[in-house]
Amino acid sequence: MSAKIIDGKQVAVDIRAELKSEVAKLAEKGIVPGLGVILVGEDPASKSYVSAKERACGEIGIFSDDHRLPVETKQEELLALVERMNKDPKINGILVQLPLPKHIDESAVLLAIDPDKDVDGFHPMNVGKMVVGEKAFLPCTPHGVIQLLKRSGVNTCGKHVVVVGRSNIVGKPVANMLIQKQEGGNATVTLCHTRTKDLGYHTRQADIIIAASGCPNTVTADMVKEGAVVIDVGVNRVEDATRERGYRLVGDVDFEAVKEKASLITPVPGGVGPMTITMLLYNTVESAKRANGID
Ligand code: GUN
């Protein structure tokens, strides 16, 4: 079997079109959703993510308030900027790009963001609400994975999903969303990580594999059941002298071999990646609606 490729770019285009028309309706009421974006330092991957986020905001009519701060920025300065954005009624969402430089306490910064403006869904208040199944801002990459499955016609109810990776940004939240007693959930979830013994034993039993290890070739063809759905969250830069920029992007899955066994698979790039930014836009529009009593 050769897998059908899930076109994350197209799903993202569809959702962004829906959001653009919502933003236009809000504009008629004089409401412009605003996103505060903070990048500290010069990490090349973070710079390109942040630029893509700002561009995407502009394309659908979200106002973005961009702050690029030098790597030596003090934690107090960053906290003061977050506090200003917390109080600014024009800002509905605040995004502090991670990772932060080592001298800044990441959890102190995330905790300082008003949970009602936490469009990344990283504040412990939103994490807790998500775990107990209350309405919350859902973190963008895992929410994007759930939307990709849903819009590709994959029903997770009763399925065995194996998540590979236990990060706070992807593995833990996606596992949690999948066990919720609601549409897009109701799955049986196994969460594997670096201390899992015999990863392949688990992944071979999966109806759906979500690879979020952050390491190329974590999931190879021998680890995949015939007909499984494979979602690759990884974005890894590997050296490639044939490319002008000197590298290419690969996921966590051995795509070429695994696509011969899977029924559905996401590519890298063009799979989960475009969904992350899309769900950030979604959360920002939701936040603007909530701030104006529209639901
Ligand atoms: N770094 C990697 N992924 C993310 C994300 O989704 N949000 C933020 N703020 N930083 C990140």
Residues 185/213, Cβ–Cβ less than 8 Å: no
Q: Is there a single domain that holds both residue 169 and residue 266? A: yes
Residue 72 located in a structural domain: yes
Q: Check whether residue 163 and residue 253 sit in a common domain.
A: yes
Q: Please tell me which residue in 120, 232, 252, 254 is annotated as part of the active site.
A: 120
- Quick check: is 79 in a domain? yes
Any atom of ligand 1 within 6 Å of the Cβ of 52: no
Give every residue of the chain whose pLDDT is below 50, as ranges: none
pLDDT in tens, 183-237: 999 999 999 999 999 999 999 999 999 999 999 999 999 999 999 999 999 999 9
Q: Do 193 and 104 share a domain, yes or no?
A: no
Q: Does the residue 152 lie in any domain?
A: yes
Identify whether residues 146 and 266 lie together within a single domain: yes
Residue minimizing CA distance to atom 1 of ligand 1: 98
Residues 44 and 96 in one domain: yes
H helices of 167-272, in order, are 171-179, 199-203, 255-258
Asked if residue 107 and residue 150 are part of one domain, the reply reads no
Q: Whose Cα sits closest to atom 3 in ligand 1?
A: 98
Q: Is 97 a catalytic residue?
A: yes
Q: What is the pTM of this model?
A: 0.96
Q: What angle do CA 31, 273, 34 make, to 5 degrees?
A: 15
141 CB under 6 A from ligand 1? yes
* CATH number, position 268: 3.40.50.720
Kindly report the CATH number assigned to the domain that includes residue 107.
3.40.50.10860
Same domain, 35 and 158: no
Residue 226 Cα to ligand 1 middle (Å): 33
193 within a domain of the structure (yes/no): yes
**Protein residue closest via CA to atom 4 of ligand 1:** 98
Catalytic, 205? Answer no
Please return the burial class of 76, using the count of CB atoms within 10 Å of its CB with bins 0-12, 13-18 and 19+.
exposed
- Within a domain: 122: no
User: H or E element: which one contains 239?
Assistant: strand 236-239
Among 140, 169, 276, the mutation site with the greatest number of ligand 1 atoms within 8 A of its Cβ is: 169
104 with 144, same domain: the answer is no
156 lines ligand 1 (CB under 6 A): no
**Do 164 and 211 contact (CB within 8 A), yes or no?**
yes
Q: Is residue 43 part of a domain?
A: yes
Q: Would you state the pLDDT for residue 139? A: 98
Is 5 within a domain?
A: no
Which one of 67, 98, 115 terminates a domain?
115
Number of domains comprising the chain: 2
Q: How far is the CA of 139 from the centre of ligand 1 (A)?
A: 9
159 with 39, same domain?
no
Q: What pLDDT was estimated at residue 219?
A: 99
Number of H helices, E strands in the chain: 10, 11
83/44 same-domain check:
yes
Domain of 170, in residue numbers = 140-273
Residue 127 domain-assigned?
Answer: no
Residue at a domain's end among 81, 99, 115: 115
Do 193 and 238 lie in one domain? The reply is: yes
Q: What local confidence, expressed as pLDDT, does residue 1 receive?
A: 72
Rounded to whole angstroms, how far apart are CA atoms 148 and 19? 16
